[in-house]
Amino acid sequence: MSEPVFFPLAGPVPLREVAALSGAALPPEADGEAVIRAAAPLESAGPDELAYMDNAKYTEALGTTRARACLVSPRFAARVPAGTIALVTPQPYRGFAKVLARLFPSAARPTSLFAATGVSPGSFVHPTARLEPGVIVDPGVVIGPEAEIGAETVLAAGCVIGPGVRIGRGCAIGANASVLHAFLGNRVIVHGGARIGQDGFGFAMGPGGHLKVPQVGRVIIQDDVEIGANTTIDRGASRDTVVGEGTKIDNLVQIAHNVVIGRHCVIVAQVGISGSTTLEDYVVLGGQVGVVGHLRIGMGAQIAGSSNINKDVPAGARWGGTPAKPVREWFREMTTLKNLAARARDEGSEG
């Protein structure tokens, strides 16, 4: 599953620890001291590896796996072959993620690209910047005046931290990312190439030309947020752009000025959120969703991929389509169009 040159193993994990990490029950006959040395898919896992299964599509692969142990939901436990230990848990994938993090700790977040400890000689740190103990700064990093970086944060090669920026403890900023005009909480992950705190797109339009509106707000990113590669988050115009704690943002997402995103939202790749829109807590936006400006998407709403939102969405709603609407209405429209097209085709062939 993994090439060790990229993600070295942290060492074997006893089966009892695998069970504890994943919340699975260890069968009484299983040897808790037997070790798991790696993780792999069902079809390729070997006798010292861990696999998982929670999707009926992989039932056949489960029946023939050679894994030492398999994390499996109760409904599939009886299909685990005799030579494999069934570790039964309601959430196999979540458990598998926890074990992977134990096996491959360096894969969970950006790390130093230079095996650096402390501040590398090839970095550029302004004398007025303040770094707490344990900060790792790779070559090529630029840290501006009066920036503050919390303990155990990693700044990978080539990233830029602007003047006055505050970054909390235990964060990871990936290679060539830039963080300007922003405050980041603790344990924030910013992947390579992301751009945080640049100018928002604001112009006073007019026949004599488009007058640029200075963007004087900030970006506030709360604890435990993860931001994908090449994602952009514009600073606010006259108020702050905010990303709430625990929110996970995929690669290639555009978040415009003054957007407020609640806690524990999920925003998938290529989403575009226009200015001054608010997402309440636990909102999910599928890939390539577009949201026009000045809207509110209510708590827990879920929007299907490739949809376009042009009006407020109620809390808990499930919407899809262009323009987006409740999924049942969307499905009815698609079915009607399909039937009309089929009727027209049939009538045309009869003529």
Give the sheet arrangement for strand 85-88, strand by strand. 38-39, 49-53, 69-72, 85-88
Q: Are residues 97 and 131 in the same domain?
A: no
Q: Are residues 208 and 296 in the same domain?
A: yes
CA–CA dist 20, 30 (Å, integer) = 14
In a domain, residue 218? The reply is yes
Mean pLDDT across 201-221: 96
In a domain, residue 227? The reply is yes
- Which residues fall within 8 angstroms of residue 81, CB to CB, at 6 or more apart? 62, 63, 64, 65
The answer to whether 148 and 130 have CB atoms below 8 angstroms apart is yes
Q: Are residues 102 and 132 in the same domain?
A: no
| Per-residue CA distances from 276 to 183, 228, 297, 317, 340 (Å) | 19, 21, 12, 21, 40
The CATH number of whichever domain residue 44 belongs to comes to 3.40.1390.10
The CATH number of whichever domain residue 227 belongs to comes to 2.160.10.10
**Is pLDDT of 351 > 70?**
no
Q: Are residues 83 and 138 in the same domain?
A: no
In a domain, residue 333? The reply is no
In a domain, residue 344? The reply is no
The answer to whether 50 and 101 have CB atoms below 8 angstroms apart is no
Q: Are residues 128 and 252 in the same domain?
A: yes
Q: Are residues 73 and 157 in the same domain?
A: no
Active site residue 294: no
- Which residues fall within 8 angstroms of residue 41, CB to CB, at 6 or more apart? 1, 51, 61
Q: Are residues 245 and 313 in the same domain?
A: yes
pLDDT classification of 346: cutoffs 50, 70, 90:
confident
CA–CA dist 213, 1 (Å, integer) = 50
Of the residues 191, 210, 257, 264, only one is catalytic, namely 257
- Which two tokens mark 203? 């112009």
Q: Are residues 91 and 131 in the same domain?
A: no
In a domain, residue 117? The reply is no
Q: Are residues 228 and 311 in the same domain?
A: yes
Closest CA to 236 of 222, 252, 257, 255: 257
**Is pLDDT of 243 > 80?**
yes
- Residue 133's SS3 state is coil
The answer to whether 189 and 170 have CB atoms below 8 angstroms apart is no
Q: Are residues 102 and 130 in the same domain?
A: no
CA–CA dist 296, 236 (Å, integer) = 17
Record the pTM. 0.92
Q: Structural domain of residue 290, as residue ranges? A: 124-319
Q: Are residues 219 and 139 in the same domain?
A: yes
The answer to whether 132 and 112 have CB atoms below 8 angstroms apart is no
The pLDDT assigned to 7 comes to 86
pLDDT classification of 3: cutoffs 50, 70, 90:
low
Q: Are residues 129 and 82 in the same domain?
A: no
Closest CA to 51 of 19, 96, 14, 9: 96
The secondary structure element, H or E, covering residue 93 is: helix 92-103
CA–CA dist 314, 262 (Å, integer) = 15
Q: What are phi and psi of 330, to 5 degrees?
A: -60, -45
Kindly report, residue by residue over 33-67, the tens digit of the pLDDT: 999 999 999 999 999 999 999 999 999 999 999 99
In a domain, residue 6? The reply is no
Closest CA to 166 of 183, 150, 143, 186: 183
Total number of domains constituting the chain: 2
In a domain, residue 225? The reply is yes
The pLDDT assigned to 85 comes to 97
**Is pLDDT of 338 > 60?**
yes
The answer to whether 256 and 239 have CB atoms below 8 angstroms apart is no
